[in-house]
């Protein structure tokens, strides 16, 4: 079913163009030194958009919780500077989602794009992983929340 979803994403809905556009925007951000964290996040998002039904986007801190404080501070400053660009990308994506919801076949694709909206707003420290890794990270986070709720 995932393969069929990826094929539908690319063939009638031209998802590879969305991935290419995101990759090019990410490449422009990587050229600037200050925008490199955003560009790397957008490049990860473009990898996700190449096979959205077979992969997932997660925070890098879920895989590696120990991060440098200077990098966290720099990431926060960059996210604040990036917000206008992220808002424009998110608005374009919302229009694309609305257009996909008009067609019945496009509803699963629109749901995938809706899930990726948070990455357009905050691409810093995002990573594209396989679906199995994303599900395992979500399972561990849920288990930690359950453990926290029962220990209180």
Q: Give yes or no for residue 72 having a pLDDT over 80.
A: no
Q: Where are the domains of the chain?
A: 2-151
Q: For residues 66 and 119, which has the higher predicted lDDT (pLDDT)?
A: 119
Helices (H) and strands (E) in the chain, counts: 8, 2
DSSP state, 51?
A: S
For residues 41-70, give the mean pLDDT. 84
To which H or E segment does residue 131 belong? helix 131-151
State the average pLDDT for the chain: 85
* Portion of the chain with pLDDT greater than 70, in percent: 99
pLDDT tens string 38-54: 888 899 999 998 888 88
Q: What's the Cα-to-Cα distance from 49 to each of 19, 42, 46, 113, 120, rounded to whole Å?
A: 5, 10, 5, 9, 12
**Do residues 66 and 35 make contact, with C-beta atoms less than 8 angstroms apart?**
no
Q: Give yes or no for residue 150 having a pLDDT over 90.
A: no
**Do residues 82 and 38 make contact, with C-beta atoms less than 8 angstroms apart?**
yes
- Alpha carbon distance 19, 51 (integer Å): 9
- Alpha carbon distance 45, 25 (integer Å): 11
pLDDT tens string 75-126: 788 888 888 888 888 898 899 899 888 888 888 888 888 888 888 888 887 8
Q: Give yes or no for residue 144 having a pLDDT over 90.
A: no
Q: Give yes or no for residue 152 having a pLDDT over 70.
A: no
pTM of the model: 0.83
């Amino acid at each position: 079913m995932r393969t069929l979803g990826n094929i539908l994403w690319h063939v009638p809905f031209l998802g590879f163009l969305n991935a290419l556009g995101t990759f090019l925007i990410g490449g422009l951000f990587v050229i600037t030194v200050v925008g490199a964290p955003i560009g790397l996040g957008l490049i990860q998002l473009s990898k996700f958009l190449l096979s959205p039904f077979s992969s997932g986007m997660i925070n890098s801190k879920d895989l590696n919780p120990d991060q440098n404080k200077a990098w966290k501070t720099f990431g926060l400053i960059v996210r604040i500077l990036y917000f206008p660009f992220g808002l424009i990308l998110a608005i374009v994506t919302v229009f694309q989602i609305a257009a996909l919801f008009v067609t019945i076949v496009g509803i699963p694709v629109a749901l995938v794009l809706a899930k990726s909206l948070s990455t357009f707003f905050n691409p810093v420290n995002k990573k594209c992983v396989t679906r199995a890794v994303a599900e395992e990270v979500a399972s561990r986070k849920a288990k930690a929340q359950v453990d926290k709720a029962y220990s209180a």
